[in-house]
Each structure stands twice: as structure tokens, then as C-alpha cells.
Amino acid sequence: MNEKLLTKRRYKDGDHTPLAWQEEIFVADTSHKCPTYVHRTPPCQGSCPAGEDIRGWLNIARGIEKPPGDMPWQEYAFSRVADSNPFPAIMGRVCPAPCEDGCNRNEVEDHVGINSVEQFIGDYALEHKLKLHPAGEDTGKKVAIIGSGVAGLTCAYQLRRMGHACTVFEAHDELGGMLRYGIPGYRVPREALDGEIQRILDLGVEVCTNTKIGVDISLEDLHKKFDGVFVGLGAQSGSALPVPGGDAPNCISGISFLEAFNDGRLQHSAERVLVIGGGDTAMDVAAVARRLGHIKHHREHDRPENVVLGYVEHDVATVAHRQGAEVTIVYRRPVEKMPATKMEIEHVTQEGVLIRDSLAPVEVVLGDDGRATALRVIEADWSTGKMVVKEGSEIDIECDLIVAAVGQAGDLVGLESLDNGWGLIDADGLYRVKDHTNLFVGGDIVKPHLLTTAIGHGSIAAQGIDRYISGADPSRRPKVDVHHFSLLEKLRETDHAPSEYQHIQTSGTDKANFAIHNYEDRSFAEIVPSDQLFLAHFPYDARHKRSESTITADSVLGFFGERIEGLSEDEARAEADRCMSCGMCFECDNCVIYCPQDAIFRVKKSESTMGRYVDTDYAKCIGCHICEDVCPSGYIRMGLGE
């Protein structure tokens, strides 16, 4: 624990530097500036590639924002999550949570466990068979979705909410893309995956499996039959190891290895496995290889590389004779520069995987039969920030199987005209395909990244497709492009909607019920930083962490259960209560308590709702700024009077 983080004050002793002249407006203890309530985006949401209203569903979980009627808080929180992300049970498990890196609570002691609360909400929704937001009124328009990964399914979900018919075309026989074929099943429970996909299909999404666009059906035919097309192919073709000998038969890609494991073909691995790469795919391959172990081969086609190629299926009975596999990860940079999440690196290390960093592959050493027997590597020095190889430092690492997790590309057979030369597809800011205004794209086929990034792509593309097929001009995306909380929608939900404005010149709008007085929505343009919060309000409160199964090098063989256990309801609510609600009032009463003029008051309960908890009597306010200084969430700004 960093003690210095617990002594935050807005002003420090010796602060004598004058502010900008516009801010130096005090006469004694008064000024002409009075408080206004400014809604801004919290950094967790600004860091979320899917743009989830994280602060919103955390405030629901903690009981600040109340659900309508007698709806359980979990159902209301799920509805808020699902506005942007239809896969909370899965994302709560596998997303590396960049939102937690952005969390302002890091400036106090530790971030909020956002994905752990999301997992609780997602699991509750599956257990209680909650439904997604319903499909909209039929528009008569049809959209083709190529690929059933999270980008394609999110796009289909959002389009159905708009009333457009959708048909998903999938080359495999099951839906899910990388969720099903690229991540080990013990990290993505199949019942959770199937449940979250089925909710989307229940909205009336049609499915056509075992159909490869560009081969079975041409892209031109899709354009003839559908009003819009979204390409969410993913990047499920792994790159070969780019060194001499990298095409040896027992040098395979990480993507192929994981796909063979996930569809049940790969039942055991090799005795000595080298995994090349430092990303999450490399960690998954290493973890799976440790769990699978190896058997003594008696048949040529039993070799793992042949199974990956689809030649045969293992006899499951032979797995009873499985023995542990020696698994080594080789990465050319220092381990601290690995792009994989810290947790995944820690897990594979605990499970007996050896990580050898700062080693660059030189060539694959081949035996007389043309198969790899070792990987030749050379030491790399990164002290200057660039890789400098140490001449004469080459060594050979013996192996029976090399799995390269060094890059991904899409399978663009039949769609070569869309290839940008890297096996990917270029897109603009609206996720339209370059030079194809009638074609939209998203997910890893744009640039391999996080699953939650693909969800964000699918949402934005759906909005673009909606405007395209309705004949509207493309709209500019907001500076802070996320799913924003709407005070107006909240007022409507709670039967406090403003009355109709007659569009005539008038005065006294602070008393009128057709206006939302002294409230400003800057969430589309601003993210609230930690230095605009009153951090001293927040005491030390340790994070409520999910419990983990202890898996060691001795116990990993054959272990395919979930490693992390979800939070209980009490734990989830307690963790949500650590949220600082950056950029939105969370009803702490500081401004009411500390106002020396009693100018700030609580709104009547019959008129109060989220974002409308307090108001100001401007006949009493003297502009002393104390309310702004003690507002923990940065919701109060001095602005009225300019």
C-alpha cells in the first residue's frame, strides 16, 4: 500500500502560483461564479473499447441508481450493461480490463474490480434467463453479417434493436468465432458462451453455418440480396514462424493449435513444446499444452501437428496414459514488455511453464526426416530501447513441437479485393471498408486486438449501417465515443420528463418545468481526470478479489476447470461501492453539509433521480466554491454567471 496516496488534498501548503486571470474572480470569500452540475465521462468508460456505461451499472449495483418498479437491481444492471455489451458473463472472465487501468481509484489505493462485478451480473442474467433489449419494429431492411465472432454478433444484436433483419454467415459449424475456437474452453465456459449467443438469436437473427463467403457465396451476391453487409471475419489464420525451417511439419500456429483443442480433436500435445510469442494467445497455448501433457506415440498420425491439420482424431482412451509436457515460452523482448496480461503470465508460470525472454529465433533446426528438433535462438539486448543481438550467443533449445503465436491474419480467400496486403481490411472511423461505402467491417480483421474492442466495432458499425440503408448521411462520431448516460432518458423512465417547450422567448427558466436547469452534459467531449476529484473523501478500502483455484506445476495436468471463482452478491455490491462515480453525483451530501449559506439543498424525493439529487438556491449562493472543492466525483463546476 502506498501511504502517500492516502493523504490527498486539493490544495498543498505553499501553493502561491496564481491561476489564470479568468479564475481569479474572488472578492473576499465571494465571486460571481455559481455552481452548475456537469456530467462528464469517467476514465474507466473512456478506457473501455466497448464504451460500456461502467459507472452506471456500478452505481446500480451499489444501490445509488434505483431500478424502476420492483425490478431486481441485477436485472436493471444487466440491462445497462447489455446496452453496449451482450456478452457480460464472458467479458467479465476474459477481458483484460483496460477500464481498470484507467480507473481513478488507482490514485487512492487500487482500482475497482470492474470485470469481477460484470461477471457477477452476467452470470446472474444467465442463471435467471434474462433477455436482451427487444428487437425494434420491422423496417423491411436486411443486413448480411459475415462471421459470428463478437463483432458480428454484436452488430447483429444492435441492428435487430433498430428493426433490421439480420442473417449471420459462419464458415464453421458453430457460432462464436475466437470465443469458441481461439480461447481455451476452461476460460470461456461453453454453457455461458452458448447462453449469451442464444439470447441474440432469440431476437430473430437468422444463421447460415458451414458457409464461407467468397467461396460458397460471392460478396456480389450478398450485395444483391441484402441492403447492407458487415464483415466480421476475425483473424483466425496464424502466421508461420518467419525464420528458415519455420515451415517444418511440426511447426504450427497458435491459432490452429487452440482451434484443434477447442473443437475436441487435440487430446494431448508433445513432450517438449516451444511456444514463440508473448501475447495472450501464447499464454493460452502454453497453458493448454501443460494441461494436455503428452503420450508416447505409436502411430504417425497421432502426432499433434497431424491432429491439428485434421488428419485424425485421438483415441480418447490413450489420454489415460498422459504424462506431463515440458513447455517453454520464447519471447524476443524482456518479460516485462510482454503484451500478455500480468495475470496470465503469473498463471502460466505457476503452472510450470518456463519463460525465456530476450531470445530471438534464428532458425529451426531440422532432423533427417525434415521435422524440427530444436529452435536456434540468439540473445537480444534491449538496453538501448532497440533490439541488438549479441553475436556468438546462439543456442539451440531442443523440442518436439513448435507453436508460433507471432501474428494473425484473416482468411480472405474469395475476398482478395478487400485485402490491404497484410491479410486484414482497412476501415475508416465509421468502420466502412476503404473505397466501399456500402460495406462495413469490424473486429480482428481490421486489427487484431481485444474481444471488447470487437464489440465496440460492431456497435459503431451497426449505427453506420443503419444510416446507410436509411439513406441518411454518415454522422460524425463524438469525441468521447461511448454509450453515454442520458439524464433526459432517466427523467422519462422515472416519470419526470420535462414538459413540451413552446419555443417562445421567456425568462425564469430555473423555475420552468420544460428545461433541465443548471445541468450541462459534457460527456460527449470530456473525460474527468483524478485531479478534479476530491480524493481525500475516499478512505482506504481493499479490493474484493475473486478467489482462485491453486494450480501448481504438479496439479495442472488434466485440469480443465475454471481457475477463477466469481464474487458473491454481497462481494459484488461491496466492490461496486468502491466506485468513485467520477463525473456523476453519488449522493454523498458533502455539498449540502459544507455550504456555508445553505444554498445547496436536496431535491424532493418525489422529484429526485440519478443526476438530480441536489440543486442550488442561487438567491443564497455567494459563489464561494466550497461545494466544488468538496465534491468527490467532480460533478460540481463553477460556471453559472459567466
| 238 within 8 A of 404, measured Cβ to Cβ | yes
**Burial code of 547-569, b = ≥16 C-beta within 10 A, e = fewer?**
eeeebeeeebbeeeeebbebbee
User: What's the pLDDT tens digit per position in 73-115?
Assistant: 999 999 999 999 999 999 999 999 999 999 999 999 999 999 9
Q: Indicate the SS3 state at residue 348.
A: helix
User: What's the pLDDT tens digit per position in 346-379?
Assistant: 999 999 999 999 999 999 999 999 999 999 999 9
For residue 319, what pLDDT is reported? 44
- The model's confidence at residue 529, banded by pLDDT at 50, 70 and 90, is very high
User: What's the pLDDT tens digit per position in 66-76?
Assistant: 999 899 999 99
Asked which of 12-16, 156-160, 275-279, 330-334 is least confident by mean pLDDT, the reply is 12-16
> Can you read off the three cell numbers belonging to residue 306?
497431424
User: What's the pLDDT tens digit per position in 214-266?
Assistant: 999 999 999 999 999 999 999 888 888 999 999 999 999 999 999 989 888 88
Classified by CATH at the fold level, domain 142-236+410-469 comes out as FAD/NAD(P)-binding domain (3.50.50)
Overall average pLDDT of the 624-628 stretch: 91
User: What's the pLDDT tens digit per position in 303-326?
Assistant: 666 666 555 444 444 444 457 789
For residue 314, what pLDDT is reported? 47
- The model's confidence at residue 275, banded by pLDDT at 50, 70 and 90, is very high
Length of the chain: 642
Domains 142-236+410-469 and 238-409 alike in fold: yes
| 482 within 8 A of 46, measured Cβ to Cβ | yes
Alpha carbon distance 166, 204 (integer Å): 8
User: At 493, which helix (H) or strand (E)?
Assistant: helix 487-493
For residue 500, what pLDDT is reported? 86
Per the confidence metrics, is the pTM higher than 0.85?
yes
- CA-CA-CA-CA dihedral for 611, 614, 615, 620, to nearest 10: -160
Q: How far does CA 326 lie from the centroid of its chain?
A: 33
pLDDT above 90 (res 300): no
Per-domain boundaries in the chain = 3-66+484-551+565-640, 142-236+410-469, 238-409
Q: How far does CA 585 lie from the centroid of its chain?
A: 25
Domain 238-409 has CATH 2.160.10.10: no
User: What's the pLDDT tens digit per position in 150-178?
Assistant: 999 999 999 999 999 999 999 999 999 99
For residue 474, what pLDDT is reported? 84
Count of alpha carbons within 13 angstroms of residue 441, beta-carbon side: 25
For residue 266, what pLDDT is reported? 80
- The model's confidence at residue 640, banded by pLDDT at 50, 70 and 90, is low
